Structure 1
Amino acid sequence: MISRRDLTYGLAGLAAAGALPRGGAAAAEAVTAVDSHAHVFRRGLPLADARRYAPDYDATPEDYLAVLDANGMSQGVLVQPSFLGTDNGYMLEALKRHPGRFRGIAVVRPEISRDELQALAAAGVVGIRLNLVGAPDPAFSAGPWPGFLKNLADLGWQVEVQAEARRWPVLLDPLLQAGVTVVADHFGKPDPKLGVDDPGFRHLLAAGAGGRVRVKLSGSYRNGDGLPAAAIPLLRRHLGLERLVWGSDWPHTQFETATDYRRVRAELDTWLPDPAERRIVLSDAPRALFWPMRG
């Protein structure tokens, strides 16, 4: 369910800026500003057996499109929520209905066939997500992981990882060796007590020099106060702005009353006050990552 606060504040801000976009196929094809991390779901969908949380409200694709339009965003990336497990059906329906507006990141089992992956790719999926919070490290060297990762690399897909930063030394190297691009959710999730001094976050920075690591500037409220101000200068120095993308984390699950879309979007203006730099993070970098065939 769309937040009245999200919609009202977003419309007011755009009215002042004269930037409210119009819908339609032509507008959808122009990638001008991408929200790289959002979730859609509704009540009544089958839930995963293993889950930490499930919301009691709807966040439909149409709700999300209204928020995107109200905040001047041309496209969004739908990330399969972990509480829906590997049933990507609701997200796939959204991709089918709005192919010019959305790309998808799916959750799948490593046993999935190459043909099934190719069908997901045809629907607009461009990568898979590993949400490892509360889960063990995958045994990437054991079957079926090597074949699975090869299929992902052959498709040119990304592997999006949500995990505590302390785990990056174990997780990151085998994924990069498999030839996939790795996208770190929510600033790489350093320990709030350690911040940018978390050794795992430092490992992520060092690996970023190789060119196949991306970091989402998202979920600042999940990482403790003050992290972005300290992390972004380091991320831009080690990875470059062209490997950073912004995400709203809409509808801010478990933090619905603590923030809203207007507020998280405004954070980026504070972090990167130069419009040319923001354009790299909002348009150039996500267009290359999520719409690589569209120029």
Structure 2
Amino acid sequence: MLDTCSRPITGIDSHAHVFSRELNLAAARRYTPGYDATLEQYLEHLRTHGLSHGVLVQPSFLGTDNSYLLSALRQAPEQLRGVVVLERDVSRCMLNDMARLGVVGVRLNLMGKALPDFRDAAWKEFFRQIAELDWHVELHRQVEDLPGLLRQLMPFGIKLVIDHFGRPDARLSVDQPGFPQMLELGLTGRIWMKVSGIYRLAGTPQQNLEFARRALPLLEQSFGLHHLVWGSDWPHTQHEDSISFGTVVEHLQALECSTQLMRSLLVEGPRELFRFDLPVSC
């Protein structure tokens, strides 16, 4: 065990990945890592930047084999929470086992995939179990498709989390297709936004940062202060050569957040969403 008992929350990184190049990779994947991103490396990044806790998200190239992520949770149960990728027919026994290890959500990475029809009976049963566990569903998809997906998911009564600003195109305005509708849905109080992956917004570094600066006040107004969470997106897959943990911390600082918003992004929002306020067996 790397970690055993409760520690004060100084900051929560809400989105990171751990993996090894030796793991079995999903047959259908958009990316193949040529390096390891270990738990030890990640925890050292947290320490270096004054962060106390983190959320590990299953990377798409590992498919539904969450074993490496679950092993990491076992090593730092107090410090970490997990978001997994699952088959729809996963057993309730397996879900319960994951919950005991600190899994609090499931990710739907829909980038490059056909859009699912959540009216299907198998999806309905899957989301029923997710709701019973009080987990969230995290969506990764371009912004133009998000409103339709969110509207399909909202009747299930589950918490919804949007990845990386909703993946808008920073070369366009905040009125681009899908963005205003996403903001409108944020007013329902049932959706969270990850303020992360600024470098993934399709523009130049300057365009990406300027878009994030314009978007953040709109997101705060629509989603609410405590429904915004910050994530490093470490180890910055597909951008490793130009982005580091230090880079994304600089991006966060460049957003010039108020003291209140910064505390919400790093502590109050993620503490509630990822259930860091629940007791952990030590």
Instruction: Please indicate, yes or no, whether the TM-score normalized by the shorter chain is above 0.5.
Output: yes
Distance in 1, Cα, partners of 2:240 & 2:276: 32
Corresponding residue for residue 246 of structure 2? 262
Cα deviation for residue 293 of structure 1 reads 4.5
Structure 2 residue 268 is matched with structure 1 residue 291: no
Kindly provide the CA deviation profile for residues 113-154 of structure 1, in whole angstroms up to 9, marking residues without a partner as x: 222211111111000000000111111001200011111111
Give the equivalent residue in structure 2 for 1:236.
220
Give every structure 1 segment of 4 or more consecutive aligned residues whose post-TM-superposition deviation is greater than 6 Å. none
Distance 2:135 2:240 in 1: 31
Matched, 1:67 2:51: no
Tell whether 2:255 aligns with 1:271.
yes
Task: Note the C-alpha offset of 1:258.
Answer: 1.2
Confirm whether residue 281 of structure 1 aligns to residue 265 of structure 2.
Answer: yes
Q: 1:156 is matched with which residue?
A: 134
CA distance in 1, matches of 2:87, 2:68: 17
Q: Percent identity, aligned pairs only?
A: 46
Tell whether 2:9 aligns with 1:38. no
Q: How far did 1:196 drift?
A: 1.5
The farther-off stretch of 92-101 and 184-193 is 184-193
Distance (whole Å) between structure 2 residues aligned to residue 164 and residue 157 of structure 1 = 23
* Count of aligned pairs between the two proteins: 272
C-alpha displacement of 1:83: 0.2
Q: Structure 1: which 5+ runs fail to align?
A: 1-22
Shift of 1:292: 5.4
| 2:119 match: secondary structure | coil
> What is the alpha-carbon distance in structure 2 between the residues aligned to residue 247 and residue 273 of structure 1?
15
Give, as a single letter, the amino acid of the residue that structure 1 aligns with 2:31: Y
Match of 1:249 in 2: 233
Residues 23-78 of structure 1: CA deviation (Å, up to 9, x unaligned): 9645x532220000000001110000110001100000111001110110100100
Amino acid across the alignment from 1:84? L
Change (3 A) 1:244 1:121: same
1:128 to 106, 119, 125: 106
Name the TM-score, length of structure 2 as normaliser.
0.92
CA contact (8 A) 1:269 1:278 kept: no
CA deviation string 1:174-217 (max 9, x = no partner): 11111111110000111334242122121111111111110001
TM-score by length of 1: 0.88
